[in-house]
Amino acid sequence: MSIHRFRIVNVFTYRRGALTGNPLCVFEDGAELDSTTMQALARQFNLSETTFILPSTRADARVRIFTPTYEMPFAGHPTLGTAHVCRALKLGTDALRLEMQAGIIPVTASGDRWTLTALEPTWREVEEPRGVLAEALGLESADLGERPLWIKSGKEQLVVPLATEDAVRRAQPQFARLSAIRSEDDISMAYVFTERNHAGGRGGAESGKRRTLARFFFPQNGSMMEDPATGSATANLGGWCLAVGWPLPLEVEISQGEQIARPSTLHLHIDAGRQIRVGGDVIELGRGALHLE
């Protein structure tokens, strides 16, 4: 019988609340587990992602990321949550390099605020007409904002600006329609966002600081699910900001998870050199061990 220790952490927490942010299961040592077992364990925990820490000859640790149904090359909250566990296991300090399928991801911490440096983004136009895209999101064409794009900063996702906060809250993706709009790796995912209005103008754009409201939708077991906090999509939002020419340097505070009662806060920073960083607070909620024969 083998014993496999794991930790449950919450990433991108809202005011460090214990039951906020995006939960993650991290297995401390995946060296003895094969891919089939890793996938089965991810299905057992049934969180949006489960990660496995492995030795690396190129970085402080190698990380494999699994959803309940498939392996991912990169995802934001698993990267930050796993870095938090790596530090606790003394695999590194406040500066770590994690080897993912997508590449080497540098991660740093200030206390329990973890920040990753995203890969350089690429982007391409969306081929579907605006009306088709709006219908797939359960919205009207007038609800769409400027220039939806496919963005890849580790994992390609559809990034769709919306005109108002109300439109973000009303979005109800239609599984069949959205499933027909697919990324380069044949997956249908959509990130919708809008700037939040407050005193001082449009999102505080003149000061380089903005606030957004966002939602992220993904398919699972034949239905469309919603993620409480999505680091990879936040990195891709950074790519979208570069694509459309938002002024730099730029700081964005993103609120996500509102519609599913799981408030989360994510921080996006793009410096004058166009480097994208994504950060948020991580807390450990619990730990345990599985006994497998």
Determine the Cα–Cα distance for residues 20 and 5; give it in Å rounded to an integer: 23
β-partners of residue 9 are 24, 284
Say whether 71 is catalytic: no
DSSP secondary structure string, the chain? -EEEEEEEEEESBSTT-TT-SEEEEEES--TT--HHHHHHHHHHH-SS-EEEEE--SSSSEEEEEE-SS-EES--HHHHHHHHHHHHHTTS--SEEEEEETTEEEEEEEETTEEEEEPPPPEEEE--S-HHHHHHHTT--GGGB-S--EEEESSSEEEEEEBS-HHHHHH----HHHHHTS--TTS---EEEEEEPPBTTBSTTGGGTEEEEEEEEEEEETTEEEEES--HHHHHHHHHHHHHHT--SSEEEEEEE-GGGT--EEEEEEE-TT--EEEEEEEEEEEEEEEEE-
Count Cβ atoms within 10 A of the Cβ of residue 1 and give its class: 0-12 exposed, 13-18 middle, 19 or more buried.
exposed
Cβ atoms of 177 and 136 closer than 8 Å: yes
**Per the residue annotation, which of 49, 99, 156, 195 is the catalytic one?**
49
**Catalytic residue list:** 49
